[in-house]
Amino acid sequence: MLYREAGDFKTTYSKDSQTFPIKFDRIGYYLILIVAFGVVPFFIDSYWANAVFVPFLIYAIAALGLNILTGYCGQVSLGTGGFMAVGAYACYKFMTSFPDLNIFFCVLLAGLITALVGMLFGLPSLRIKGFYLAVATLAAQFFLVWLFNKVGWFYNYSASGQITAPERSLMGIIITGPNTEAWAKYLFCLVFVVLLAWLARNLTRSNTGRSWMAIRDMDIAAEIIGVNPLVAKLSAFAVSSFFIGVAGALFFSVYLGAVEVGEVFGIQKSFLILFMIILGGLGSIFGSIIGAAFLVLLPVLLKNVLVGTLGWQTDIAVHVEFLIVGGLIVTFLILEPHGLAALWRTVKEKLRLWPFPH
């Protein structure tokens, strides 16, 4: 009854190629945007912002980035943490070297720097494939973290080796630093998520996106039909790293405020984001976002239930979380390799027919 495409005739090409061709979807999408921009900022407090919303939004950006590389272009990367660190440190250097520069542009520039670094580490992908490449990206992960730890220039020779975000504001509203209001953090990240998700969605159905998918499905065949693997792979690395760099910059400047590179951007972060896109759905924009939401919420939920309600120790809760996440990954790969996004697709199919069985 609700979810109908019958009678919804498309009369122009632009209408035919809409992102949400079904009216119900479209209304839902606008409703979510209205709630996210118009309602949540008035009710958000610092617990909800710091525990749920801000990490969710930032991880969503990182997951989008990794999904472009892994889900759309088929190049598995375990260097996400390292690239996030590049974004964070680039953002820090821009913030401290050019104090007058708008924080918005600092984050974007940090993304661009990361894109360059990503392309550099993407170069071997032209020669090596599959998990050989996955291991090669580990080189990026460990080397970058080591670099930011050892070279003083990156952290302005601070005694602790940490980087700390100075206070910066945008249109009179403080965005970074300890005095930031919860809603300002939230809105700043939300703007980035919406912009980048829109960009990702449109890139992936453009010529570029199609060439990525051709490379993913079979690179030799793609080459034969005229896809340039150099351009396709490097552009995937660049766009993906740009997203991940922006996520790293936000993670450092808006979310944490102070960062110790080995702890925050270690190999665990790379795996976390990889898990987000596996659970959410490889090769799906919606999947990246839902996967990020799932893996941000799960620990909060487990902590509340196990530690808060049952009174267990925190370390047991952490182990149970490992157990559940690992188990879910395997279960999903066996039962639904396309993740939560595919489940949602099935639900939509059912909705389309409801209340009839066929």
278 binds other proteins (CB under 8 A): yes
Residue pair 282/290 in contact by the 8 Å Cβ criterion = no
Q: 10 Å Cβ neighbour count for 93?
A: 19
Least distance between other proteins and beta carbon 330 (Å): 4
In one-letter notation, the amino acid at residue 80 is T
**Residues 195, 299: Cα–Cα separation, whole Å:** 28
98 binds other proteins (CB under 8 A): no
**Residues 338, 318: Cα–Cα separation, whole Å:** 27
Q: What are residue 173's DSSP bridge partners?
A: 170
In one-letter notation, the amino acid at residue 355 is P
Q: 10 Å Cβ neighbour count for 236?
A: 28
31 binds other proteins (CB under 8 A): no
Binding letters toward other proteins, positions 234-253, x by CB under 8 A: --------------------
Q: Which of 138, 191, 199, 343 binds other proteins (CB under 8 A)?
A: 138
Q: 10 Å Cβ neighbour count for 286?
A: 16
109 binds other proteins (CB under 8 A): no
Q: Which of 20, 30, 105, 143 binds other proteins (CB under 8 A)?
A: 143
Q: Which residues 181-240 are close enough to bind other proteins by CB under 8 A?
A: 218, 220-221, 224
Least distance between other proteins and beta carbon 158 (Å): 16
Cα 180 to chain centroid, rounded = 23
267 binds other proteins (CB under 8 A): yes
Taking alpha carbons only, the member of 202, 199, 176 closest to residue 189 is: 176
Stretch that binds other proteins, among 2-10, 132-140, 158-166, 167-175 (CB under 8 A): 132-140
Binding site for other proteins (CB under 8 A): 74, 76, 124, 127-132, 134-136, 138-139, 142-143, 145-146, 149-151, 218, 220-221, 224, 267, 271, 274-275, 278, 310-313, 315-316, 319-330, 333-334, 337
